[in-house]
Amino acid sequence: MSRLVLKFGGTSVANVERIRNVARHVKREVDAGHDVAVVVSAMSGKTNELVEWCREAAPMHDAREYDAVVASGEIVTAGLLAIALQELGVQARSWQGWQVPVLTSDAHGSARIEAVDGAEIVKRFKERQEVAVVAGFQGLHAPTGRVTTLGRGGSDTSAVALAAAIGAERCDIYTDVDGVYTTDPRVVAKARRLDRVSYEEMLEMASLGAKVLQVRSVEVAMAHRVRTYVRSSFDDPADPSPGTLICDEDEIMEKQVVTGIAFSRDEAQITLRGVADKPGVAAAIFMPLAEAGINVDMIIQVVSDDASTTDITFTVPGGDYSRARKIIEDRGASIGYRSLQGANDVVKISAIGIGMRSHAGVAARAFKALAEKGVNIRAITTSEIKFSVLIDATYTELAVRTLHSLYGLDKAA
């Protein structure tokens, strides 16, 4: 029998009735003859509540005890789903992360998975035909014996890593949408659900603003070649839609030039004017930001006419804008710049597609189309399968719709 891993997010298990609905999805796969492991998130809103309790108890709390508290949300869901499955006549057992075990680093609150031992789960498939209901988002740091958590969205990563460990045929990520769309349907009414997306495209989409999957989960899927479906838990369990398959590029017959348009509102821009054009200046700017854990994305450098000074523009996450600005200002004397300008009312729009590798002028068409709409581009970055532009936030919807239409994404496949 083939093995499947099914993952259900917080909205899918928000209450007992929805957990019963999840149980029916699981039973469908069991009745089809599959060995099934299920990974669950905490019930919607529960993790936020647990985090707030930790902050109430002590603003500067022990990260190890924080993990012990917040990991409990998934444990509750796993137990409830096992009970619901048993009520349907399905043999099931709940597993905490340390029982599998899912072995991780000791970075409490944002641990990385180092190994997953699925041997006992596979053994129980063979001996008991038992569904394994695994609490996602958590693991074990073996040297200290402490529970760890993987950070927000970590249940997706748990599921894909478990699928790789047990040799699953596929990993189905059930959420509140029925797949991956060409862009956000709330912005573009004609956005279409994609049948297939390559790992590389999904990784870019996830990192550039699409909220369907956590970036780390896509990285694990790509590294281990885990075929992953994005599906809706709100479909009729007896007749679900197929969702979107995330797979190798070789499995995609028709490669569109542009597959999707993503956007991120969590952006801020900083420009340093009149910076001395000499070796070491870039390091003086960006090393302190890196040491503070601030991710720098777009970087543009423009040398002045006299070649003695330069202007440097870069972007950081919106939430880090004030902190990044203070770090630069505090080091103003050592960096040496004439003025600092900033803006946090900007948005990054990105076009992604593996077809860009073999087509010239894809980005140029976008620049022309945006210019015709009166949209000014503040910054540009490109890679092999995507390009991104930074624009004023006011023009977000106009820019997304313009590019979505430009590349024919609003037309039926």
Q: What is the pLDDT of residues 133-191, one digit of tens each?
A: 999 999 999 999 999 999 878 999 999 999 999 999 999 999 988 999 999 998 999 99
Neighbours of 3 (CB within 10 A): 18
CA distance 249 to 244: 14
The dihedral region occupied by 97, where left means phi > 0, alpha psi between -120 and 50, and beta the remainder, is: alpha
Q: What is the DSSP string of 57-105?
A: H-TT--HHHHHHHHTHHHHHHHHHHHHHHHHTT--EEEE-GGGTTEEE-
Q: What are the residues facing 231 on neighbouring strands?
A: 174
**Domain 3-249 top-level CATH class:** alpha beta
Cβ atoms within 10 Å, residue 306: 7
Average pLDDT over the chain reads: 93
Least confident of 74-83, 125-134, 333-342, 362-371: 333-342
Task: Tell me if 166 sits within 8 A of 123, measured CB to CB.
Answer: no
Q: What is the mean pLDDT of residues 347-372?
A: 92
User: pLDDT value at position 328?
Assistant: 94
pLDDT for 253-290, tens place per residue? 777 899 999 999 989 999 999 998 888 888 999 999 99
**Average pLDDT value for residue range 308-333:** 92
What is the CATH number assigned to the segment(s) 261-406? Answer: 3.30.2130.10
- Of 15, 34, 41, the closest CA to residue 214 belongs to 41
What percent of the chain is modeled with pLDDT above 90?
78
Residue 306, pLDDT score:
67
Residue-wise pLDDT for 186-243, tens only, equals 899 999 999 999 999 999 998 887 778 888 999 999 999 999 999 999 999 999 988 9
Domains 3-249 and 261-406 share a fold: no
Which of 136-145, 298-307, 372-381, 400-409 has the lowest average pLDDT?
A: 298-307
Determine the length of the chain.
413
> What b/e string do you get for 377-398 counting C-beta neighbours within 10 Å, with b at 16 or more?
ebbebeeebbbbbbbeeebbee
Q: What are the boundaries of each domain within the chain?
A: 3-249, 261-406
- DSSP helix/strand/coil, 147: strand
End-to-end, the C-alpha distance of the chain in Å comes to: 34
Least confident of 22-31, 72-81, 83-92, 212-221: 212-221
Q: What is the largest CA-CA distance in the chain?
A: 79
State percent of the chain over pLDDT 70. 98
Does the pLDDT value for residue 305 go beyond 70? no
pTM: 0.87
Residue 357: pLDDT band by 50, 70, 90 thresholds?
A: confident
